[in-house]
């Protein structure tokens, strides 16, 4: 098969948003406990943070990390996680049917984030709590001192404010499964009032209102319309969440999941802008895609994929949704990253859910090693190389017929141009299961003679599209050199192997 792509130095979309390569740490399963935090682990530091996981987090290139949930946050008292660890209460976490020890809380996450070099995106509980708790946590985190909550922070060991800029106003409040689920008007008013009270404490914070939990929600569209009609002036972003999986062996539709992501993003932009027009507002509301990934939620015939929630008893950090990702999943993740990047004019924040163990690019065994899943690789390369300006990509590609989305481009792409070092980076996916794709790229306005990076993730020798990285074969799937890439002046030629994700960087 074949694809012709054009980019043009003058056709830019936006600067690559730094927060596009975010991740997510929820008190869920083994993401916190035995994920980022395991005091008894041989590789733990003096605070109990796993150094192997910290090193992989840095290599992944995550920039901003959402915390502490997720569904968990809608039943969480943030005060349970502060003060001497011995005094912290043990609680039932209804969202994930787990026992929460609260050994890890806000101070620990702040310290961990400093070590990881990541920004904090803090979610507040708008399920069981409201305006009062919302403004108190901002005072605790950001007020310099001389008040009850800021002095308590100092007493608990942090004299300097945490200075958390980015806050989520609850989580998935449109979902009937959410603790304290609300209608759009109930939530819109609560988000508005919580935002107002939080900003009265710290006017410099940025706020994300909950949008829809996925584009298939019955309230999708109407939810955003109502919530933003109430809270337009008070918030800066509206959130989107989406998880994709292969259904009944329909790999073609699964590989075209980014078509849904494109549709979802463009629909939310249109809805936000319609509220802007109707309300005669000046500012734009941008998008925070603060949960996205592949997640095998239903119908998995693979016994390796654990149950979503194990209801057999209340346990500390049970194993939940520790999906093991294969080659196909990595190619899909690459296309989802392409979709986010292509919409970088409006999607300013995105968080892959989650960071470790729970539907994550990093797996970590209790008292054992940590390693990279297949999906780690496209994320890490894009976080490293997608710098500067996002370029518009014009694609004329052979199509693949899909049951869910009709004809989808066989070759998917996004591109950036880093004016500082003069480098162009192109991120390709070949959705074709059996055929290689010949790709020609017209590099208008560029003179690129040297290929500085050419790597591909593909089915490894002796493997198939289901091959994964496991405890005993941690590097079966990774990036290998992509041979035969030819760049001359304003033209680039390459061949993408069947079912592959590739990066080419030029100067």
**Which residues are known to be catalytic?**
172, 291
Residue 471 contacts residue 414 (beta carbons within 8 Å): no
| CA 82/CA 88 separation, integer angstroms | 7
| CA 434/CA 443 separation, integer angstroms | 28
Residue 79 or 172 having the CB closest to ligand AHR: 172
Residue 171 or 397 having the CB closest to ligand AHR: 171
| H-helix or E-strand spanning residue 333 | helix 327-342
| Residue whose token pair is 């390569």 | 21
Positions touching ligand AHR (CB under 6 A) are: 26, 28, 69-71, 171-172, 291, 353-354
Give the distance, in angstroms, between the CA of residue 12 and the centroid of all CA atoms in the same chain: 24
Residue 22 or 70 having the CB closest to ligand AHR: 70
CB of 16 to ligand AHR, least distance (A): 25
| CA 203/CA 210 separation, integer angstroms | 20
The full DSSP string for 44-98 is B-TTSBBHHHHHHHHHHT--EEEES-SGGGGG--GGGGSS-GGGPPPEEETTTTE
3-state helix, strand, coil in the chain (%, to 5): 25, 30, 45
b/e 485-496 (16+ beta carbons within 10 angstroms → b): bebeeeebebbb
CB of 307 to ligand AHR, least distance (A): 14
Cα→Cα distances 404→252, 254, 401, 499, Å:
9, 9, 9, 19
In degrees, rounded to 5, the angle at the alpha carbon of residue 388 between the alpha carbons of residues 386 and 393 is 70
CB of 109 to ligand AHR, least distance (A): 16
CB of 276 to ligand AHR, least distance (A): 27
Residue 353 or 383 having the CB closest to ligand AHR: 353
CB of 63 to ligand AHR, least distance (A): 18
Residue 274 or 300 having the CB closest to ligand AHR: 300
* Strand intervals (E) in 210-282: 237-244
Residue 73 or 459 having the CB closest to ligand AHR: 73
Query: Which one-letter DSSP state was computed for residue 162?
Result: -
Residue 171 or 373 having the CB closest to ligand AHR: 171
| CA 109/CA 102 separation, integer angstroms | 12
Residue 26 or 409 having the CB closest to ligand AHR: 26
CB of 384 to ligand AHR, least distance (A): 25
Which residue, judged by CB position, is nearest to ligand AHR in the bound state? 70
CB of 328 to ligand AHR, least distance (A): 20
Listed residue (407, 411, 270, 288) closest to 338, CA to CA: 411
| H-helix or E-strand spanning residue 193 | helix 184-201
Listed residue (127, 201, 110) closest to 168, CA to CA: 127
Query: What angle, 0 to 180 degrees and rounded to 10, lies between the N-to-C axes of helices 257-278 and 327-342?
Result: 30
Residue 195 or 240 having the CB closest to ligand AHR: 240
b/e 404-438 (16+ beta carbons within 10 angstroms → b): ebeebbbbbbbbbbbeeeebbbbbbbbbbeebbbe
CB of 340 to ligand AHR, least distance (A): 17
| CA 443/CA 275 separation, integer angstroms | 38
CB of 467 to ligand AHR, least distance (A): 25
Listed residue (93, 310, 290) closest to 206, CA to CA: 290
């Amino acid at each position: 098969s074949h694809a012709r792509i054009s980019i043009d130095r003058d056709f830019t979309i936006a600067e690559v948003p730094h927060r596009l390569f975010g991740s997510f740490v929820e008190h869920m399963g083994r993401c916190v406990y035995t994920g980022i935090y395991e005091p008894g682990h041989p590789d733990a530091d003096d605070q109990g943070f796993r150094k192997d996981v910290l090193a992989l987090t840095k290599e992944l290139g995550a920039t901003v990390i959402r915390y502490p949930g997720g569904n968990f946050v809608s039943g969480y008292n943030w005060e349970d996680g502060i003060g001497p660890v011995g005094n912290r209460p043990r609680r039932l976490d209804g969202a994930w049917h787990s026992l929460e020890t609260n050994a890890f809380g806000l101070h620990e996450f702040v310290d961990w984030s400093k070590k990881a070099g990541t920004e904090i995106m803090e979610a507040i509980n708008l399920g069981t709590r409201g305006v009062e708790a919302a403004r108190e946590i901002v005072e605790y985190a950001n007020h310099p001192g001389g008040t009850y909550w800021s002095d308590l922070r100092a007493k608990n060991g942090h004299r300097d404010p945490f200075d958390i800029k980015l806050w989520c106003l609850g989580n998935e409040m449109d979902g009937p499964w959410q603790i304290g689920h609300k209608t759009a008007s109930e939530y819109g008013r609560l988000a508005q009032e919580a935002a107002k009270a939080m900003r009265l404490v710290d006017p410099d914070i940025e706020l994300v209102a909950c949008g829809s939990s996925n584009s298939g929600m019955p309230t999708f569209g109407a939810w955003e319309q109502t919530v933003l009609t109430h809270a337009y002036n008070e918030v800066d972003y509206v959130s989107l969440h989406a998880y994709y999986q292969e259904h009944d062996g329909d790999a073609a539709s699964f590989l075209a999941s980014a078509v849904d992501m494109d549709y979802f993003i463009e629909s939310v932009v249109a809805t936000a802008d319609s509220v802007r027009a109707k309300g005669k507002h000046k500012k734009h509301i941008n998008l925070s895609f603060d949960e996205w990934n592949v997640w095998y939620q239903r119908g998995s015939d693979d016994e390796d994929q654990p149950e979503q929630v194990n209801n057999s008893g209340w346990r500390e950090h049970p194993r939940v949704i520790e999906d093991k990702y294969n080659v196909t999943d990595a190619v899909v993740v690459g296309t989802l990253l392409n979709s986010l990047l292509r919409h970088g004019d409006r999607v300013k924040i995105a968080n892959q859910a989650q960071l470790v163990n729970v539907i994550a690019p990093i797996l970590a065994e209790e008292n054992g090693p940590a390693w990279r899943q297949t999906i780690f690789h496209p994320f890490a390369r894009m976080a490293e190389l997608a710098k500067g300006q996002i370029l518009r990509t014009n694609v004329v590609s052979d199509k693949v017929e899909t049951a869910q989305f009709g004809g989808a481009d066989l070759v998917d792409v996004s591109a950036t141009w880093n004016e500082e070092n003069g480098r162009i980076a192109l991120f390709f996916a070949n959705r074709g299961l059996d055929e290689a794709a010949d790709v020609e790229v017209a590099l208008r306005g560029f003179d690129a003679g040297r290929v500085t990076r050419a790597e591909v993730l593909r089915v490894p020798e002796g493997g198939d599209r289901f091959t994964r990285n496991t405890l005993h074969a941690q590097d079966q799937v990774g990036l290998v050199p992509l041979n035969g890439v030819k760049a001359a002046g304003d033209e680039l030629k390459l061949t993408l192997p069947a079912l592959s994700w590739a990066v080419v960087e030029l100067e």
